[in-house]
Amino acid sequence: MTDNIAVEVKQLVKRYGKLVALDHFNLSVYKGEILGLLGPNGCGKTTLINSILGLLTYDKGDIDVFGEELKPNSYKIKQRIGMVPQEVALFEELTVFENIDFFCGLYIEDKAERRRLVNEAIKFVELDKYSKFIPKKLSGGLKRRLNIACGIAHQPDLIFMDEPTVAVDAQSRNFILEGIKRLNENGATIVYTTHYLDEAEQISDRV
């Protein structure tokens, strides 16, 4: 594996019973790029991401992240990875600040450093006015922004974004896409799944 590759997937096979979701799939993700994974719903994009992250077992193949196999105890590698899931994953009883702080706390123990990172994430997604709101008080677009902040607050080197613009208005969609570009400009490698051709063309270095 060369130094400029963040993720290497070789001959990956994943079956659900008789259904073959990934059929000897190969992929290289280069450091510093935005890679667009384009395909219709149900084609295996989320299955691929969950396999890379070690959230799914797979039938065959090899996956390396930053040159190492990602294992359950690969904490140093996991600290360098952020995930923004397709489904909004938030704690409804916690405020915006508390939600981000919780997810950031999975990676950052120091409270002062964590507070700094949480505040930076809130500023990045422009939720400053909503830091004390609970999720049910937010619009769908603002919830998506919060979902992103929870996944990137620890400032990971590699970020997986699984269709983060689903079911949001045009303004929120453009905000999210511009935010992805800024994350990349700040040094993050991004794997972005979508079934929107225009989105893939707009922000991806490769599709």
SS3 47: helix
Q: What single-letter DSSP state applies at residue 128?
A: G
136-190 per-position pLDDT tens digit: 999 999 999 999 999 999 999 999 999 998 888 888 889 999 999 999 999 999 9
CA distance 173 to 168: 6
31, with CB counted inside 10 A (0-12, 13-18, 19+), is middle
Q: Is the pLDDT of residue 1 over 70?
A: no
The residues, any chain, with a CB within 8 Å of residue 148's CB and separated by 6 or more, are: 84, 125, 161, 164, 176, 179
CA distance 75 to 119: 24
The pair of structure tokens assigned to 169 is 């208005």
What number is the average pLDDT over the span 5-22? 96
Locus of tokens 């500023």: 123
Report CA torsion sign: 34, 178, 167, 159: positive
78-126 per-position pLDDT tens digit: 999 999 998 999 999 999 999 999 999 999 999 999 999 999 999 999 9
Strands 5-16, 60-65: pairing is antiparallel
**What confidence category does residue 3 fall into, taking pLDDT thresholds of 50, 70 and 90?**
confident
The pair of structure tokens assigned to 101 is 């702080």
Q: Which amino acid is at 36?
A: G
Find the helix packing angle between 140-152 and 170-185, rounded to 10°: 10
**Closest by Cα among 119, 195, 186, 198 to 158:** 186
